[in-house]
Amino acid sequence: MSVILQAEKLCRYYRRGSETVKALQELDLTLHKGQIISIVGRSGSGKTTLLNQVGCLDTPTSGRLIIAGTDVTALKEKELEHFRRNHIGFIFQLFYLIPTINVLENVELPLVFARRHNRQKVLEVLELVGLAGKEKLLPKQLSGGDMQRVAIARALINNPKILLADEPTGRLEKEEKAPIMDLFQQLTKEGLAIIIATHDLAQARYGERILELKDGRIIAEHSPETIVRLRG
């Protein structure tokens, strides 16, 4: 399968007072189309920093990051905004839906910013994530699982190449977790590549590769089978 993301010796350092924090250290990573990679590690290990780099929300201190054939480290701010809009989808632990607008409008929002109004596409994506019939509901009227489905639909609306999920099931009830992860697996069949950052080893096993991060470095790679054993 073709490579969608290639990170080479990616570093992200920043200053905290007189101290230099090495959030990512010479990280190499390859992600293929239709692949799920899980990133595990404790808080502060660099999971979110990695997602921010891949999501073009932040620029690395050094190293190269090539996404869909484009070296994003060479892009200027406006080009990064444009690139992010067309190639990256984000999902967060707390869903972060806009409370004042309904399900349909939340999903439509990225299209509004991209000036690509397409109501039909919004309805299709909502159906894909299992929210058909709930278009007019406000976020507060939804369960946690449905809120995360809205967030996934919002992330998918611009046809991204990579979906970045930061603790996507962290705030969900036990019975809501598996359907969301199953949905991710379903999406990879369309060629979507997904990076999941999680503490939850049970969810991490959905990844084809499971990378363990510590102090901004990959210290181990696990398979879904070995991670199940690690959980005990």
Partner 1 sequence: MKLGVFAIKNLAQHKVRTILTLLSIVAAVAVLFTLLSFNQGYEAALKDQLQQMGVHIMAVPMGCPFESATLILKGGKIPAYLDMSVMEQIDQIDGIQIAAPSLMHGLIRPEEGRTDIFLGIDERMLTLKNWWKIKGSFFKKNNDIILGYNAALVELAEVGDQIYLPEYDKTFNVVGILESTGTQDDGFFYIPLATAQALFGQEHKITHIQIRVKDPAQADAIAGQLQNIDGLSVLTTAELMGTMLSLMGSAKTLIFSIVLIAIVISTLGVLNTVLMSVFERTREIGIMRATGAAKRHIFALIWLETLSLSLIGGTLGIVIALIGAGQIETVIKRFLPIAPQGSIVSLDPGNLLLCLAFILGIGVFAGLYPAYKAATANPIQTLRKE
Residue with smaller CB distance to partner 1, 92 or 184: 92
Contact between 22 and 45 under an 8 Å Cβ cutoff? The reply is: no
Q: Please identify which residue in 21, 109, 137, 228 interacts with partner 1, judged by CB under 8 A.
A: 109
Of the candidates 27, 54, 92, 152, which one interacts with partner 1 according to CB under 8 A? 92
Closest CB to partner 1 among residues 63, 110? 110
Pair type for strands 3-16 and 62-67: antiparallel
219 forms part of the interface with partner 1 (CB under 8 A): no
Nearest of 232, 197, 193 to residue 211 by alpha carbon = 197
Residues in the chain: 232
CA 166 to chain centroid, in Å, comes to 6
45 near partner 1 (CB under 8 A): no
The verdict on 176 binding partner 1 (CB under 8 A) reads no
Nearest to 196 by CA among 35, 61, 86, 73: 35
The only residue of 3, 11, 21, 57 in contact with partner 1, by rule CB under 8 A: 57
Closer by beta carbon to partner 1, 23 or else 227: 23
Q: Is 199 or 209 the residue whose CB approaches partner 1 more closely?
A: 199
d(CA 141, CA 134): 10
Nearest to 122 by CA among 99, 96, 155, 95: 155
Candidates 3, 21, 66, 101: give the one binding partner 1 (CB under 8 A): 101
**Binder of partner 1 out of 37, 47, 50, 55 (CB under 8 A):** 55
Using the Cα atoms of residue 140, residue 145, residue 150 and residue 152 in order, give the sign of their dihedral.
positive
Number of residues located near partner 1, criterion CB under 8 A = 28
Q: Any idea what the Cα angle at residue 200 is, between residues 15 and 211, rounded to 5°?
A: 60
Taking CB under 8 A as the criterion, the residue among 82, 171, 214, 217 binding partner 1 is 82
Q: Return residues touching partner 1 (CB under 8 A).
A: 48, 52, 55, 57-58, 78, 81-82, 84-85, 89-90, 92, 96, 98-101, 105, 108-110, 112-114, 154-155, 158
